[in-house]
Structure 1
């Protein structure tokens, strides 16, 4: 919950200064509980965040541990893509083309330098104090890079029956890329990984939320999937929007058939299961068609 560059700190969730005294911290926690409790008209997602914040800083020992380790932990998470780490196990991994999150990470470094007004070392660019004070659009770029890397790490562990392409080009604008294309025994899937730092809900098949502004991630995902499908002459069996677990009230949110493609939003922790079992209503691929689809994609996919 507090891992994202977009996330409020436990102190911010409780509405207090990090230097607040223990008694005032406890009072603030009780006030926030009353304000956010679902039985009194509060938001259940915010109520859970308040409880989690208290778990992290509610006792002197926990607070000292959080204050001591949070910046170093954040620097370590934000500076190095998890998808680059070598697997420590012996289980065969998926066939992977490209590097998840690579384009957005490069773009983040560009945006961070532009905002700072000078070139930055990686140490400076991923310093938690710098990241937390950067404009929202800069932090969002890093958050999305981390989201894509987390997805990349998960799909790499699916096994040899899966083939994955990351950062697939769609047209001439790299920003309009398709985050992941996953070919599995259960079907061919277009996948987008997002982190908006807030609870995401849905209306008429599209994601909505204050943090989303006017963006349309579902429409973007489907449009990019159709562009890749036209180029490669393949059919996607499903489309998946992947969100951090805390940003989605349900494990899986079925969005119905959108533009002819069964579409779901899923918590990140549920992604592997969905890709193994298949999106409900997705068209399965098997036998010679599986090899034909893989060949078509290998011949046509461009990475950004």
Structure 2
């Protein structure tokens, strides 16, 4: 993935300097292909990253375009305005930039939505960004890519997570009026760090979602995610948060889903089994709508009065971070 505040540039993925000669660039690409190829013991997700990086700089024309728009290793980012976020807005977001997006003029029926996706992390990012820049320093644009790239990883991670949540919010908002969504839900008032990024209720079930962007390829091992950028135990944490909300609302979740950028996973839908009794799947963003419409394996459909009852129970206990 090359449009993340955490991602490496195409040159970094290929292991060369930005001013490397074309022949050296091509040699580096072939070397990285051999190093990451799954048939020779490499990582499949990293192999995909290498191919994607090469696509961006393979020809003089492509490389020139990449260098013009991505001189510091990211993609180009256009201003996008202020965020929406009230009920029915379907969430804010950023289409490829790092700024919250204005509310869409799309008039199609959307999921009923509550909360501000990514809002807590954006506020935290802006506060810490100003502290990092130093007292008295005016930040004309705290989302300027050149500035963001120089910030500590902890700050870039906050922004990446906010973007991930906003992207998921747009996807689930498009599911339609048969779905209800809660964003940035506090799972346990005694633990400020335990939250659910999204709760999605629809005919296919009740799902706890965690939106992540680790800035690079990830894979599953022993029931959780591992990778260079992975911190903590994302699967265990979303399951713990889901169980806390389930106890408070007296509801039963159908499953937990960790949503990741398409480029960072090998399999679009990976149902990894049950964790503490809850079905769990690792899902690429592009496949999320499919999963939420059909449900996870073994999840039963919800309809009629039961759907209304679950929504009412959640509305009574949901608190936002």
Does the CA-based 8 Å contact 1:261-1:282 persist in structure 2? no
Match of residue 180, structure 2, among 159, 163, 170: 163
Deviations 1:79-115 (A, max 9, x none): 3234x43143x32111011121111111111222232
Residue 229 of structure 1 corresponds to 246
Residue 33 of structure 2: SS of its match in structure 1? helix
Contact 1:33 1:50 in 2 (8 A): yes
**Match for residue 111 of structure 2 among 78, 89, 94:** 94
Query: Aligned partners of 1:272 and 1:122: how far apart in 2?
Result: 38
Cα root mean square deviation, aligned: 2.0
Q: What's the counterpart of residue 207 of structure 1?
A: 225
User: Does structure 1 residue 290 correspond to structure 2 residue 293?
Assistant: no
Take 2:229 and 2:128, find their aligned partners in 1: how far apart are those partners? Answer: 19
Q: 1:270–1:114: structure 2 CA closer, same or farther, 3 Å change rule?
A: same
* 1:194 matches 2:212: yes
1:261 and 2:264 aligned = no
Q: Deviations over 1:141-170 (max 9, x none)?
A: 111111111100000000000000000112
Q: Which residue is 1:103 aligned to?
A: 120
Say whether the 8 Å CA contact 1:75–1:126 is kept in structure 2.
Answer: no
Contact kept, 8 Å, 2:269 with 2:283, in 1: the verdict is yes
- Partner-residue secondary structure (3-state), 2:76: helix
Structure 1: unaligned runs, 5 residues or longer: none
Match of 2:92 in 1: none
Shifted more, 15-24 versus 66-75: the winner is 66-75
Q: 1:80 aligns with which of 95, 99, 102?
A: 99
Tell me, yes or no, if structure 1 residue 247 matches structure 2 residue 250. Answer: no
Structure 2 stretches lacking a partner, 5+ long: 80-95
SS at the partner of 2:110? coil
- How big is the shift at 1:25? 2.3
Deviation per CA, 1:103-143, whole angstroms, max 9, x where unpaired?
11111112222322237766532111221122222111111
The whole-number CA distance in structure 2 between the counterparts of 1:296 and 1:95 is 16
Q: Distance in 1 between matches of 2:75 and 2:31?
A: 31
Q: Which residue of 1 aligns with 2:25?
A: 25
Q: TM-score, normalised by structure 2?
A: 0.87
Matched, 1:183 2:192: no
Whether 1:60 aligns to 2:68 is no
**TM-score, normalised with respect to structure 1:** 0.92
Q: In 1, are the aligned partners of 2:98 and 2:163 still within 8 Å (CA)?
A: no
Q: Name whichever structure is richer in helix by fraction.
A: 1
Displacement, 1:260?
Answer: 2.0
* Greater shift in the superposed pair: 26-35 or 224-233: 26-35
Cα–Cα, structure 1 residues 42 and 133, in superposed 2: closer, same or farther, change >3 Å? Answer: same
Corresponding residue pairs, total = 301
Q: Which moved more, 1:28-37 or 1:262-271?
A: 28-37
